[in-house]
Amino acid sequence: MGSKTHEKPSIRATTVIGVLRNGKAALGSDGQMTLGNTVIKHSTRKIRRISQGGTDIVTGFAGATADAVTLLDRFQEKLQAYGGQLERSAVELAKDWRMDKYLRRLEAMLAVVSRDKALIISGTGDVIEPEDGIVAIGSGSMYALASARALLTHTDLEAVDIVRESLGIAADICIYTNDRIVLEEL
């Protein structure tokens, strides 16, 4: 008789990926929304563009929609409070997320890009800045991440094209990802 662990379930049901290249950024997602193992919507918009303090930012979410929208709203509040400073706003949101009893229960992750930064804000209160300028979250994230890394290394494709191709590959492999892609470019 082992002890029960109370781990958060892995976040499924989407793929969001962002890429930085040549002073440009792109973030995209698929459009599939699932409830358990049933597709309930094919064209959900999981990407939001934000302009704050002279900084253009694109955010995307994976996880429970209501939870993610709550986090996006909180993130936008932090951007307003800190004059559009992306890293500072992300860290402040992560601190709140970790310390606030209400926020700790939210099951979502955020991917955030500006022209020069790509961050993942996790449900455990972490802010992760990948070294390669690629952020990926959701159930198909590892497929999209592998694709983006290969394309970034072995092609001259622009960031938006790498995101598009990577999402297409993830949609071909991950049952929780579809090919109704939404993209934003900075």
- Give CA separation, 160 vs 37, 40, 88, 109, 179, in Å: 30, 27, 26, 21, 15
35, 28, 37, 24: which is closest to 141 by C-alpha?
A: 28
3-state helix, strand, coil in the chain (%, to 5): 35, 30, 35
Taking the C-alpha atoms of residue 128 and residue 166, their distance in angstroms, rounded to an integer, is 20
H-assigned helices in the chain = 65-81, 86-99, 101-104, 141-154, 159-173
- Give CA separation, 50 vs 10, 59, 113, 148, in Å: 27, 8, 10, 24
Catalytic residue among 14, 15, 34, 55: 14
14 is a catalytic site residue: yes
CB neighbour class for 22 (10 Å; exposed up to 12, middle 13-18, buried from 19): exposed
The pair of three-digit structure tokens given for residue 186, joined into one six-digit string: 């900075």
The one-letter amino acid at 108? A
Catalytic center residues: 14
